[in-house]
Amino acid sequence: MKSSPNQMPRALAAEAIGTFFLLATIVGSGIMADSLAGGNGGLALLCNAIATGAMLVVLILVFGPVSGAHFNPAVTLHFVLTCRMEPKLGTYYVCTQILSAILGVLAAHAMFDVSLIAMGTTARDGGAQWLGEFLATFALLSAIIGCLRHRPEAVPYAVGLVIVAGYWYTSSTSFANPAVTIARALTDTFAAIRPQDVVPFSIAQLAGAVAATAFFRWRSGHDPIANCRRFLSWTCETQVRRS
């Protein structure tokens, strides 16, 4: 994606609104589900998963034509690594996603009349959970890359479904998104994560995104070393043009 004076503000606004509503849905539906499930954690998780998946489908359908509907630094990283997005624009995307995710958490707290900011106390650490995040993000990027190549109109539904499934088949309940992970450290509700668990979760997620990108490039017959050189050359040329 090439940035232009007219397109960039619209794209960033789309990323902001989409990520905001994604986090408001994750945290808000978690609070609602937890309060209505009567202590049934499985039922609460199911409700949380369905609400998140449904909202993702809608947000991607609405904002996909404007910004690509990333809402996720791991997705943005894929587009930068494959030279389909300028690194500078990718940086703007990531900053917008993180800030909007935090605002979405605050909005959910305000709607349900809980403390605006409360550090998460839910422990999510250890190799099993990190593996879960790696696999969840690999699956998410695989769904996006594969559908964009063969069935682009199916991307919204594939993303929604892979996230709903990830809530259940992964040990980590499939955050699969560094912006989501950071924002969920600022809530002590059903969707919480401890602040000290954010960095390893995010590393696992970004590793999953890089692995999925590398796999699909290899599957398409691209040389990974040549791809790396091409990316570095493209980045340098972009910086030279701007200087």
DSSP state of 6: T
Predicted confidence (pLDDT) per residue in 119-144, tens digit: 999 999 999 999 999 999 999 999 99
pTM: 0.90
Domain ranges for the chain: 7-242
Phi, psi dihedrals of residue 114, rounded to the nearest 5°: -115, 170
Phi, psi dihedrals of residue 126, rounded to the nearest 5°: 105, 160
As a whole number of angstroms, the distance between CA 41 and CA 55 comes to 21
pLDDT of residue 220: 80
pLDDT of residue 69: 98
pLDDT of residue 226: 57
By residue count, the chain amounts to 243
Predicted confidence (pLDDT) per residue in 206-228, tens digit: 999 999 999 999 988 765 555 55
Q: Please list, in sequence order, all residues whose beta carbon lies within 8 angstroms of the beta carbon of residue 85, skipping any fewer than 6 positions away.
A: 1, 76, 79, 93
Q: Which residues of 104-125 are buried (b: 16+ CB within 10 A; e: fewer)?
A: bbbbbbeeeeeeeeeebeeebe
pLDDT at 200 over 70: yes
Predicted confidence (pLDDT) per residue in 32-52, tens digit: 999 999 999 999 999 999 999
- Domain 7-242: CATH architecture, name and number where available: Up-down Bundle (1.20)
As a whole number of angstroms, the distance between CA 203 and CA 193 comes to 15
Predicted confidence (pLDDT) per residue in 49-96, tens digit: 999 999 999 999 999 999 999 999 999 999 999 999 999 999 999 999
Q: Backbone dihedral region of 174: left (phi > 0), alpha (psi from -120 to 50 degrees) or beta? A: left
pLDDT of residue 239: 54
DSSP state of 196: G
Please give the share of the chain, as a percent, with pLDDT higher than 70.
89
Mean pLDDT to the nearest integer, 4-30: 93
- First and final C-alpha spacing in the chain: 20
Rounded mean pLDDT of the chain?
92
